[in-house]
Amino acid sequence: MLYHFDPQSKTLDPLNSVSAAEVGVLEKQIEVAVAGRPECIVRTGRAGSPLLIVKKSVAYQKMPDIIALDTAGRLVLVECKRGWATRDSLAQLLDYASEYDLTSTLARLKQAWATGEGKAPEGGLLERYRSFTEDDSVDEAALGVGHVLVVVAAGHDEGFTRIATYLRSHGVPVYFVPVRLFRRAGSGEMFLDVEPIDLTPAPEPGVVLPGGTTWMINTDETHSPGAHTRFIERGVAAIWGYPDGPSTLQQGAQAGDVIYAYRNGVGIVARGVVIDGDVVQATPETSVIPECKDGNEWHLAVKWTPLAKPVSNTEVRKAAGAGLPVRNTFCRLWNANVRKYLAGRAETA
C-alpha cells in the first residue's frame, strides 16, 4: 500500500490504485504526459531525453501515439493504452510499422518531423538527431533502420504475451511498459507509477560476444561538473539522484568486467576494470557527487585508466560503423566492433 506522507502533520494519506476509466483519464492525456517526459518509460542518463520525439499523434490521423528515434537510430513506435493491452494493441502497432518499410522510412520520418516536433524552429531532422546523439557524422540513411515497438498500459492479456514472444523470437523488439494509476484519498490528486525499460540494442539471439562483459557509464557532467575526475581519483563508477536508488547500477556487473566512462559532449575519457560487482551506498567520506545531499549515491568499485585523448561518439561511429548509447546512464556495450575499437584506443592511451 502506498501512502502520501506529510511530515508536518505526521499523517499518512492512502494512495488507492484506480483504473483510468473509472476516474475519467483519457488515453490522449496519458500519451501527452509520456511524450513530454519519455524518460519515465525508457531508462536514461540524467543528461536528457532517451528518445528524440519526432511526432505525437494527431486526432483523426492513422498513426502511433508517439513516433521517435533512439540513440541507435531505430524507429520507436509507442502506443499508450489507458486499460489493458491485448493482441489488438500489437496488431495496431504492427500495422503502423508496416508503413515504414525500407524504401519509405526516411521520407515518412522527415514528413512526420516537419508536421510534428520539427514545426518549431529547430532545424531539420538530421541536424536535430546529430545534436541528440552528440555525433556529427550520422548519415540520414541510418535513421529508422530497425524498428522497436513499445506498448504502455496497465497490464496485458495472454494473447499479447504470446504474440510479443513470437515477434521477439523473430527479431522484432517488443517492449511492455506497465503503468499504475493512483488517486490520493484525501485530495483526489493523481499519481502514475511507471516501470521504465532499457532500449540498449542487444546482440542477435545465440550470439556470444568474446572478451567478457563491457559496460559504459555516463559521468553526468551536466549535473555534476568534474565528476569523471572524481570517479578516477576515488576508483568508483557512481550514480545519484534516481528514485529507484541503486537499481540503475544493479545490472550484473562482475569483477573483471571492462567499463568505459563517457563524459557528455566529450566522449570516452577513461577505461576501467570492475573490482567488485557489489553496489554500495556512498558515505560522506566516499562521495564523489557534492551535489547529492540526501545520500542517494551509489558506487561500483573500479580501477580506472584515463585516456590521453577522449574518444568521441563521432570517432567511434566512423571507425566502428555504430555509435555509443550516449543517452543511457549505465549499460552494456553489445556491438563487437565498438568494443574492439575502444579496446584498441585504450591500449594506445
Average pLDDT value for residue range 181-207: 77
Q: What is the CA radius of gyration of the chain?
A: 21
Which residue do the cell numbers 515477434 mark? 167
Q: What is the CATH number of domain 2-194?
A: 3.40.1350.10
User: What pLDDT is stored for residue 32 in this prediction?
Assistant: 86
CA–CA distance, 186 with 204 (Å, rounded to integer)? 50
Given this model, what pLDDT does residue 44 score? Answer: 72
pLDDT band at 290 (very low <50, low <70, confident <90, very high): very high
Q: pLDDT confidence of 202, banded at 50, 70, 90? A: low
Q: How many CB atoms lie within 10 A of CB 70?
A: 24
C-beta of residue 130 within 8 angstroms of C-beta of residue 58: no
Mean pLDDT score, 327-336: 87
The predicted structure's pLDDT at residue 298 = 96
Residues of the chain with CATH 3.10.590.10: 214-347
pLDDT at residue 121, rounded to an integer: 59
Structure confidence at residue 348 (pLDDT): 62
* Confidence category of residue 75, pLDDT binned at 50, 70, 90: very high
Decide if pLDDT at 191 tops 70. Answer: yes
CB 345 within 8 A of CB 304: no
| pLDDT level of residue 48 (50, 70, 90 thresholds) | low
Quick: pLDDT tens for 237-274: 999 988 778 988 888 899 999 999 999 889 999 999 99
All CATH 3.40.1350.10 domain ranges in the chain, comma separated: 2-194
Write down the pLDDT at residue 261.
96
Q: How confident is the model at residue 303 (pLDDT cuts 50, 70, 90)?
A: very high
Higher-pLDDT residue of 212 and 29 is 29
How many C-alpha atoms does 34 have within 13 Å on its Cβ side?
A: 34
Rounded average pLDDT over 342-347: 87
Task: State residue 60's pLDDT score.
Answer: 74
- The top-level CATH class assigned to 214-347 is alpha beta
What is the rounded average pLDDT for all residues in the chain? 87
3-state SS string for 186-241? CCCCEEEEECCECCCCCCCCCCCCCCCCEEEEECCCCCCCCHHHHHHHHCEEEEEC
Would the CA dihedral through 177, 29, 45, 123 be positive or negative? positive
| Banded pLDDT at 212 (limits 50, 70, 90) | low
Residue linked to cell 571492462: 258
pLDDT of 186 strictly over 80: no
